[in-house]
Amino acid sequence: MIQAGDFRNGITVEIEGNVYQIVEFQHVKPGKGAAFVRTKLKNIINGGVVEKAFRPNEKFPTARIDRNDMQYLYSDGELFHFMDVNTYEQIALSADDIGNSLKFVKENEMVKICSYNGNVFAVEPPLFVELEITDTEPGFKGDTATGASKPATVETGAVVAVPLFVEQGEKIKIDTRTGEYMSRV
């Protein structure tokens, strides 16, 4: 159990049967009346964000989120298959469970599978990946002074904006949280 007065960013709690992660919190002591804690909570199952206020002495059970390292094996069109490299246990997840998280992940790469009470709710890709550019237009000499970018398709099929000097066949580093080009490899 955790009191609302002890809330910190990133803590997961159960409130009214739902599991929330604390995104923001603020202790408020108005000039008149009792103090309270204003929070912004993200529902980890459906991704919705709500704002709620609590008395500092209200108690909530903490929610335990399991994050397991698993290897992404392959997709058969409708299901995505993952394997625990320690136990060789395999699980299959639907596209609804995966969402957009495997956009930059190749087969046989490691990801984190997030679950609550055995129910998988998210897949976290590595923070940075190195992918080869399979298709992009050639850059023109003299166009680099403006810092312009062009679209490039990487080997997973995702499209990334890259600087004009990056060519087809090169490997680039991508931040999977933002989908932005970081550097050449």
Output the furthest CA–CA distance in the chain (Å, rounded): 67
The encoded tokens of residue 48 equal 């919705």
The dihedral region occupied by 131, where left means phi > 0, alpha psi between -120 and 50, and beta the remainder, is beta
Are residue 6 and residue 52 in the same domain, yes or no? yes
Are residue 43 and residue 73 in the same domain, yes or no? no
DSSP string, 90-114: EEEEEHHHHTTTTTT--TT-EEEEE
Residue 39: give its domain's CATH number. Answer: 2.30.30.30
pLDDT tens digits, one per residue of 67-124: 889 999 998 888 999 999 899 999 998 887 787 888 889 989 999 988 888 888 788 8
Are residue 99 and residue 143 in the same domain, yes or no? no
E-state strands within the chain: 2-3, 12-15, 18-28, 36-43, 49-54, 59-60, 66-75, 79-83, 90-94, 110-116, 119-124, 128-136, 149-154, 159-163, 171-175, 180-184
Q: How many domains does the chain have?
A: 3
Please give the share of the chain, as a percent, with pLDDT higher than 70. Answer: 96
Of the residues 92, 124, 156, the one at which a domain ends: 124
Of the residues 103, 124, 145, the one at which a domain ends: 124
What mean pLDDT is predicted for residues 32-38? Answer: 91
**CA 104 – CA 102 distance, rounded (Å):** 5
Domain span at 8: 2-60
Residue 80: give its domain's CATH number. Answer: 2.40.50.140
pLDDT > 80? residue 45: no
What mean pLDDT is predicted for residues 49-73? Answer: 91
Are residue 148 and residue 112 in the same domain, yes or no? no
Are residue 120 and residue 133 in the same domain, yes or no? no
**Residue 100 and residue 94 in contact, taking contact as beta carbons nearer than 8 Å:** no
What is the pLDDT, as a whole number, of residue 46? Answer: 78
What is the pLDDT, as a whole number, of residue 142? Answer: 60
pLDDT > 70? residue 146: no
| Backbone dihedral angles phi then psi of residue 4, each to the nearest 5 degrees | -60, -30
**CA 31 – CA 146 distance, rounded (Å):** 53
**Residue 149 and residue 119 in contact, taking contact as beta carbons nearer than 8 Å:** no
